[in-house]
Chains A and B, each alone.
Chain A
Amino acid sequence: MKKLLLAVALLALGSCSEKSEVTEISVQRIFGECRANVPKGQPPLRNPDGECEIVTQILDDFEKRNPDIRLKVNIAPWPGYDQLSAQYAAGDPPDVVTMHMSVMPDFVSRGLIEPLDADFAKVGLDVNNFTPAARNGVTVKGHVYGMPFDNWTQLWHINMGLFQKAGLVRDGQPILPHSPDELLAQARQFKQATGLPYLLQPTDNERAAFTRNIYTYLLDQNAVFFPDNKHIRLDTPEARRIVELFRQIYAEGLMAPAQDYPAAMAAFLNGQGGICMVGTWMIGAFEAEANTPGRPLSAGYAVRPYPMLYGGKQTAYVDGHAWVMPRRERTPEQRAAVIRLMKFLQQRDYDWSRTGHLPTQADIARSPQYLGLPHRDGIVALATVGQTLPAGVERQIAIQDIIGDEMASAITGHKPVAQALKDAEHRVNDLLFHVL
């Protein structure tokens, strides 16, 4: 009996010590819930290139390969910052969380996320392998504050069938403009030949798209529109040139009017316009349509970075998702587990790049595996030449909304261009002035 009791006690002790060897960390992410498509421990049953499916599978795989770490995954409603801010206020942020690169300065300036350079170096997570766009996106004041997951940007998604009809294809490649005049000429030629608008872009209930256009074309002109982190310069000839161009495009009916985001996407899928100006994330959906016989895009679909119109070198405004470590009390084991997860995420960069987003690791960006994915060879350069806003600029989402508001007013003719730019500049500077 004594032996039995001893055995039971030893067994109990054994199970206790085994349990304590498992380190639990809380992981908070966006991208939705899709467990129905990805049963635990299995590859996705459907939509294998979807953001949700891929991230679910990566995190499952991490747990499988790291049995000493348990992930407590919390899925936050997009974009996740209301909930995250509330968690900070309650003193209970997660151990690791997804964050847009454009939002990171807000959290860095308040000391809410931790620099990771030393931790990365300790585990051999090579930050020199980050692509330039990714590295810039996660670096604030010289320190790396996150593990970059992707960069994304607006692209020109092109209906090659309609381009062919408009005589805008040469050697199988779309003919794209190199100046504002060429853009207008080609857009008019396209409309005359097809009766359709050259450009499709969300114009209603959408603030980000116009802002991203203006950022990219300001970069094209080498304009310094953030002379410092507290000021923007938009009441400039460079900005006027861009807005007046888009206003003319809109006024001439070369861009489809009154479309919100779903309407613009549906219009492109149904062959109702030549170019859809939307992000990297739509490549998969459009490519699937292109591969469906009988659909408007099946006559040909191409993807290109925004063509430079003002003589600058190829560039684009980019943002991206990163994984960051909120500042909070945690054990050394938990900290180590977070960094191991980040290293694992770095190693799964190819998987995530299947979403359409740009890779963040230079070796992946160069790899035949990545370049073999549809259209990636045409856009991969943006992982190098893409530019985020200066890392010290806070409130980038609010700034985007303000500029988007004013640009929409100007482009649709509700406000004079000069007034809209003046107002945008004033409103953004006022916002930045009041940032504590």
Chain B
Amino acid sequence: MSHASHKSLRNTLVLVTLIVLGFIMLIPLIWTVLLSLKANGELMRSTANAFHGPYTLENYIDILNNSSVFRWLMNSVIVSGLTTLGVLVLSSLAGYGFARLDFPGRDKLFLFVLFGLAIPEQAVIITRHQLFTALHLHNSYPGLILPGLAAPFGVFLMTQYFRAIPKELDEAALLDNASRFQVFWKVLLPLTLPAQATLGIFTFLASWNEYWWPLISATRSEMFTLTVGLAASQINFAQTSGLGYLMTQAVFAATPILVVYIIFQKYIVKAVSGAAAR
């Protein structure tokens, strides 16, 4: 067997393996979608009914007929969008500062920020709730957005990314009479776009899926995010009597995230491959 045909066979095998693995990964998603297209009564008898017709859009119509669902969707978009924007701005500025500026206590402060990575949300939830109560921030957008802005991972990621960019670029720009902010804004920031995309999508994803904090901070239904609103919509024992509806909720909540992922996919791949090359 020639070297070329051996390589071709190997590539085919890799491809087939990847297709099989990809399909295995997709099975739960396909199953979820099929379940969402079935009547609840049928699924109560057997979930295997999902693999054959008749299918129905009844559960989707029910979700769309819920008068509050678009409000919750809007809340989620606002909260996730502004949280993501805030994290990108703050993490980029902080990352630039830690990577490029010399100021007293910089390394200690950076270490202090990194400690945040080791502190789980559960450890601070009561004090945070009390703080937000004192500030009358519950049931408000700031109440939902502000906790997400403290993003030690984002600061760490952006710091590392800025550090990897050659300092000669800054120096050349400074020689051209650029201010510090211009160096940051016009020279370095565009180079961090892949990292921004990665951080952005992770932040958006985490914020979109956040359940606990919105559950206890946004207690009025007009301020529910989609996760809390959909959970509140579930009937008792939904896993038995309302499985199709439950799966429809999952599809409905996941769709915007999938759209965001598809839009930013090339940036994420670029960021990952860039990191690997470095």
A residues bordering B, Cβ < 8 Å?
30-37, 50-52, 73-78, 82-83, 85-87, 89-92, 261-262, 265-266, 269-270, 281, 285, 288-289
Cβ of B45 < 8 Å from any Cβ of A? yes
A-B pairs with the 8 shortest C-beta distances? A86-B216, A36-B65, A32-B235, A33-B233, A77-B231, A36-B62, A262-B240, A90-B133
**Cα distance A31–B67 in the bound complex, in angstroms:** 17
- CB within 8 Å for A31 and B231 given contacts A86-B215, A86-B217, A265-B44: no
Q: Given the known A-B contacts A36-B61, A36-B66, A74-B221, are A261 and B240 also in contact in the complex, defined by CB atoms under 8 Å?
A: yes
The reply to whether the CB of B38 lies closer than 8 angstroms to some CB of chain A is no
Instruction: List the A side residues contacting B41 at CB < 8 Å.
Output: 288
Q: Are A33 and B44 in contact (CB under 8 A)?
A: no
**B56-101 residues at the A interface, CB under 8 angstroms:** 61-63, 65-68
In the bound complex, residues from chain A placing their C-beta under 8 Å from that of B239 are 261-262
Q: Which chain A residues lie closer than 8 Å to B235 at the CB level?
A: 31-32, 34, 50-52
Cβ–Cβ < 8 Å partners of A261 in chain B: 237, 239-240
**Contact in complex: B219, A90 (CB < 8 Å):** yes
A51 touches B236 (CB 8 A): yes
Interface size on B, residues (CB 8 A): 38
Distance, CA A186 to CA B254, complexed state (A): 50
Contacts of B228 in A (CB 8 A): 77
Nearest-Cβ distance from residue A301 to partner chain B, whole angstroms: 14
A-B contact pairs, 5 of them (CB 8 A): A33-B233, A51-B236, A75-B233, A89-B130, A281-B237
Which residues between 204 and 258 of chain B lie within 8 Å of chain A, taking CB atoms? 215-217, 219-221, 228, 231-243
Q: Which residue of B lies closest to A30 (CB)?
A: B236
Contact A90 B215 (CB under 8 A): no
Q: Is B45 within 8 A of A270, CB to CB?
A: yes
Report the separation of the CA atoms of residues A281 and B130 in the bound assembly, to the nearest whole angstrom. 38
Given the known interface contacts A77-B234, A78-B234, the answer about A269 and B65 at a Cβ–Cβ threshold of 8 Å is no
Structural contact, A32 and B234, CB atoms closer than 8 A:
yes
Asked whether B46 is an interface residue with its Cβ less than 8 Å from the other chain, the reply is yes
Give chain A residues whose Cβ lies under 8 Å from the Cβ of B44.
262, 265-266, 269, 285
Determine whether the beta carbon of A92 is less than 8 Å from that of B241. no
Cα(A91)–Cα(B240), bound, Å: 36
The CB with the most chain A CB atoms within 10 A, among B216, B231, B240, is that of: B240
- With an 8 A cutoff between CB atoms, is B270 at the interface? no
Chain B residue numbers with a CB within 8 Å of A30 are 236
Cβ contact within 8 Å between B45 and A74: no
- Total A-B pairs, Cβ < 8 A: 94
User: What residues of chain A lie closer than 8 Å to B233, measured between beta carbons?
Assistant: 32-33, 75
Cβ contacts under 8 Å, A262 to chain B: 44, 47, 239-240, 243
Partner of B236, one of A85, A269, A281, A289: A281
Q: Given B45, B133, B215, which contacts A269 in the complex, CB threshold below 8 Å? A: B45
Residues of B within 8 A of A (CB): 41, 44-47, 61-63, 65-68, 129-130, 132-133, 138-139, 215-217, 219-221, 228, 231-243
Give A265's nearest chain B residue, CB to CB. B240
**Separation of A78 and B228 alpha carbons in the complex (Å):** 11
Question: By DSSP majority rule, is chain B's interface helix, strand, loop, or mixed?
Answer: helix
Assess the B237–A89 pair: CB atoms within 8 A. Answer: no
Chain A residue contacts of B243, Cβ below 8 A: 262
In the complex, the chain A residue whose C-beta lies closest to that of B220 is: A74
Residues in A with CB closer than 8 Å to B46 are 266, 270
Asked if A266 meets B45 with Cβ closer than 8 Å, knowing A33-B66, A36-B62, A77-B215, the reply is yes
B65-A92 in contact (CB<8A):
no
* Residues of A with C-beta under 8 A to B238: 32
Tell me how far the C-beta of B37 lies from the nearest C-beta in chain A, rounded to whole angstroms: 17
- CB contacts (< 8 Å) of A289 on chain B: these are 45
- Give Cα distance in the complex from A262 to B231, angstroms: 18
Q: How far is the CA of A91 from the CA of B132 in the complex (A)?
A: 12
A203 to chain B, nearest CB (A): 15
Inter-chain contacts of B216 with A (CB < 8 A): 82-83, 85-86
Residues on B with C-beta less than 8 A from A74 are 219-221
- Contact (Cβ within 8 A) B237 A33: no
Find the B residue at minimum CB distance from A80: B232
Query: Which residue in chain A gives the minimum CB-CB distance to B133?
Result: A90
Cβ-closest chain A residue relative to B213: A86
Q: Which of A33, A75, A92, A261 has the most CB of B within 10 A?
A: A33
Given A36-B65, A262-B243, A285-B241, answer yes or no on A89-B133 (Cβ-Cβ < 8 Å). yes
Q: How far is the CA of A266 from the CA of B47 in the complex (A)?
A: 9
User: Of all chain A residues, which has the CB nearest B40?
Assistant: A47
Contact across chains for A33 and B68 when beta carbons are under 8 A apart: yes
Residue from A37, A73, A75, A90 having most chain B Cβ neighbours under 10 A? A90
Residues of B within 8 A of A270 (CB): 45-46
> Bound complex: CA of A265 vs CA of B235, how far in Å?
16
In the bound complex, residues from chain B placing their C-beta under 8 Å from that of A32 are: 232-236, 238, 242
CA distance A262 to B61 in the complex (A): 24
With A36-B65, A265-B44 given, is the CB distance from A76 to B236 under 8 Å? Answer: no
- Nearest chain B CB to A279's CB is how many angstroms away? 9
The reply to whether B66 and A90 contact each other, CB–CB distance below 8 Å, is no
Is there contact, CB below 8 Å, between B66 and A35?
Answer: yes
Chain B hits for A92, CB < 8 A:
138-139, 219
CB atoms of B62 and A37 under 8 A apart: yes
**Which B residues are CB-close (under 8 A) to A266?**
44-47, 240
Residue in A33, A75, A83 whose beta carbon sits within 8 Å of that of B215 in the complex: A83
Chain A residues within 8 Å of B132, by CB: 90
Contact of B232 among A36, A51, A75, A288 (CB under 8 A): A75
Residues of B within 8 A of A269 (CB): 44-45
Give the distance in Å from the alpha carbon of A266 to the alpha carbon of B240 in the complex.
8
Q: Which residue of A lies closest to B243 (CB)?
A: A262
Q: Which of A75, A90, A265 contacts B221 (CB 8 A)?
A: A75
A82-B215, A86-B219 known; A31-B45 Cβ under 8 A: no
How many Å lie between the Cα of A35 and that of B221 in the bound state? 14
